[in-house]
Amino acid sequence: MESALDWHSARAMLEWQVDLGVTETISETPVNRFEAAREAVAERAARAAVASVAVLAEEDPVALARAASAGAGDLDALRGALADFEACPLKRGARSLVFSDGLPGARVMVIGEAPGRDEDREGRPFVGRAGQLLDRMLEAIGLSRGAGEAERAVYITNVLPWRPPQNRDPKPDEIAMMLPFLERHVALARPDMLVLMGNISCQAVLGRRGITRLRGLWAEAWGRPVMPMFHPAYLLRTPQAKREAWADLLELKARLEKGAT
């Protein structure tokens, strides 16, 4: 028995399918509904990832620095976190990441301001004329960045790991952005005491400027004694200040000899 489908019945069935959302009744290729669902999920995840990047781009760079530095469990990891940090514009204009020099675990950690041209070229802090003077100053009290034992060694870094354009002074927002990395750097290096070279280092670590007033007076930061000193670059420009610098070095030596307490 054959079933006949008249025109009105056929139209009613087509309208019913349209109401259900059918757009094609016959397709040249089969449709894998499971694969389509997976592609939809992947597309939504990609859109979410793009949105997350946009949110991070607008986020406080200091908060980003704090999160990136907190996850570093050792100095190599901290160096890697700095290398991957994209929120600081200085990175795009610098040739090198200037992380540190000397012996990790040394009793004395020297914190300078920012890399100059020579440091940017070599990727190490304090390697120009100011660095050579710093080496002679430290050697005068029995310390050296090349020493292999913690008692005689020093460990050196800067507030900023990238060279500012034309060697200009670091800006307050740049200092604030790098401060979480510096604080984590000190915690991982575990020095007994810190030596702050110049105004920028004092501003970053102590929150104060005025090196002529601060130098030679012990302070405290991050649970450690801190000695502010004239920056070697200043001593090259102002040789008469070397007398005060020598007095500060003798004070540092005395503190080392009697312990960090």
- Report DSSP letters for 166-209, one per residue: GGPPPPHHHHHHHHHHHHHHHHHH--SEEEEESHHHHHHHHS--
User: Which residues constitute the domain of residue 103?
Assistant: 58-258
pLDDT at 256 over 90: yes
| Residue scoring higher pLDDT (88 or 8) | 88
Provide the pLDDT for residue 236: 97
Instruction: Judge whether residue 35 has pLDDT over 90.
Output: no
The confidence score (pLDDT) of residue 38 equals: 72
Look at residue 38 and tell me if it is in a domain. no
Give the DSSP H or E segment for 95: none
At 132-150, the pLDDT tens digits run 999 999 999 999 999 999 9
Average confidence score pLDDT of the chain: 89
Confidence of residue 37 (pLDDT cuts 50, 70, 90): low
Q: What does each C-alpha distance from 190 to 74, 75, 105, 223, 224 come to in angstroms?
A: 11, 11, 6, 11, 10
Average pLDDT over residues 244-250: 97
Residue 19's pLDDT is: 72
pLDDT, tens only, 88-98? 999 999 999 99
* 0.85 surpassed by pTM: no
Sheet (strand 108-112) strand order:
101-102, 154-158, 108-112, 193-197, 224-229, 219-221
Within a domain: 49: no
Q: With respect to residue 27, please indicate whether it lies within any of the assigned structural domains.
A: no
For the chain, how many structural domains are there in total? 1
Residue 251 lies in a domain: yes
Q: What is the CATH number of the domain that holds 134?
A: 3.40.470.10
